[in-house]
Structure 1
Amino acid sequence: MIAIRPASSAEAQDLAKIGLAAWEKAIRVWGEDADRLRENAREAYYDFCTRCWPDILVAEWDGELAGWGSCEKADDFITDLWVLPEFQGRGIGTALLDKIESGIRQRGFTAARLDTHARNIGAIRLYKRLGYRVKTYFVSYSEPLDEDIDKVEMIKEFEPGTEPADPGTGDYGLYGM
């Protein structure tokens, strides 16, 4: 089943491939041209995984690399969460997120933050199901992709009583606003 562990430097190239595959699947859903952005994205994933491997947690499914996540600055901001498309829907992203959130709590933070593409409906729904809410919509320049990206920042408060009672109720649209 699922095992979560720290990454090793020898896995950087494999982790970059996982990030790229998950990213390509996500952007194709909203009609983006992955071919146009692929080389820049490939370089960005490889650079990140090579530089930041000590900050990456790896998920394995029955011993096979299946996904990874990162909180690269050891603060409250989750920078990455990627699961190979063929392993999605098995709870791997949820398990990674839970482990990353545990680290954030242990560092004394009362909330976890992350952002995702504003059209990444699958990720937004997952995060909302796991207690996150949309805090901000913004546009950010992505240097690796060399273009502006529409994003949403999401937050999950850990303190009792600060999370929505039931984030799935009400008709607030995709962003819950």
Structure 2
Amino acid sequence: MLTIRPATSAEAQDLSKIGLAAWEKAIRVWGEDADRLRQNANDAFYGFCTGHWPDILVGEWDGELAGWGACEKADDFITDLWVHPDFQGRGIGTAVLEAIEAGIRDRGYPTARLDTHARNAGAIKLYKRLGYRVKAYFVTYSDALDEDIDKVEMIREFDPGAVPAETDSDEDGLYGI
């Protein structure tokens, strides 16, 4: 059984381990050297989870921490969504994302935004299935990883008729997804 709830400060270390495991699985798919980046990523996850636990929603599967997501500035930008590889494919990420989106809507925003690594085809496919579209491609420097990374910004209009569309097509043509 799936439960979505706010994180507690005592869970920061466990949540950072979930983020790191999900991140490692994702980057290995496109051939990135996780070993080279692991310590920086681990430090970044731990720092985020200890500093922003009030902004984190947790997904539990039968009482076990399985995933989490965050909207750290209480605006419309979703900063994190991570599901431990052992729990992926059970709808946990979707449920956490939907709970975060509900908070965004409750704060009065017409859209939800997020970004992900441009080579993270699995995440892009999930987000597109859930109504997001690719808005922009960009390269940004990651302090946490100490290198440039390719990213895509994605956006979801909660009421598509209320926000002017930037394209006439539902398909953005990217990634063949």
TM range (shorter): over 0.9
Q: Give yes or no for contact 2:7–2:56 (8 Å, CA) kept in 1.
A: yes
Counterpart code for 2:21: A
* Aligned equivalents of 1:90, 1:172: Cα separation in 2: 28
Question: In the alignment, what sits opposite 1:58?
Answer: 58
In 2, the alpha carbon distance for the partners of 1:104 and 1:71 equals 8
- Secondary structure of the residue aligned to 1:81 is strand
Equivalent pair of 1:133/1:175 in contact (CA under 8 Å): no
* Deviation, structure 1 residue 174: 1.1
Give yes or no for contact 1:134–1:175 (8 Å, CA) kept in 2: no
What is the percentage of aligned positions where both structures have the same residue? 75
The residue aligned with 2:6 is 6
Structure 2 distance, partners of 1:134, 1:175, is 12
User: 1:138 and 1:103 mapped to 2: Cα distance?
Assistant: 27
1:18-47 Cα offsets, whole Å, 9 max, x none, are 000000000000000000000000000000
Match of 1:78 in 2: 78
- Which residue is equivalent to 2:17? 17
Give 1:166 shift. 8.9
TM value normalised by structure 2: 0.94
Q: 1:140 to 1:10 in 2, by over 3 A?
A: same
Partner deviation per Cα, 1:123-146 (whole Å, 9 max, x = no partner)? 000000000000000000000100
2:60 alignment partner, SS class: strand
2:31 partner SS: coil
**Corresponding residue for 2:122?**
122
| 2:134–2:172 Cα contact (<8 Å) kept | no
Give the length in aligned residue pairs. 174
Quote the Cα distance in structure 2 between the aligned partners of 1:139 and 1:175: 21
CA shift, 1:173, in A, is: 3.7
Q: Which residue pairs with 1:94 in the alignment?
A: 94
Read off the aligned partner of 1:133 and give its amino acid letter: R
Match of 1:172?
173
What residue ranges of structure 2 are gaps of 5+ in the alignment? none
Query: Does the Cα contact within 8 Å between 1:141 and 1:149 map onto a contact in 2?
Result: yes
| Letter matched to residue 16 of structure 2 | A
- Superposed CA RMSD: 1.8
Q: Which residue of 1 aligns with 2:107?
A: 107
Partner of 2:30: 30
Deviation at 1:172, TM superposition (A): 2.2
**Corresponding position of 2:45:** 45
Which ranges of 4 or more aligned residues in structure 1 deviate by more than 6 Å? 163-166
With 99-108 and 155-164 compared, the bigger mean Cα shift is at 155-164
**Which whole-Å CA distance do the structure 2 matches of 1:166 and 1:76 have between them?**
23
**Normalised by the size of structure 1, how large is the TM-score?**
0.94
**Gapped regions of structure 1 (runs ≥ 5):** none
Aligned to 1:154: 154
* Structure 1 Cα separation of the partners of residues 29 and 12 of structure 2: 26
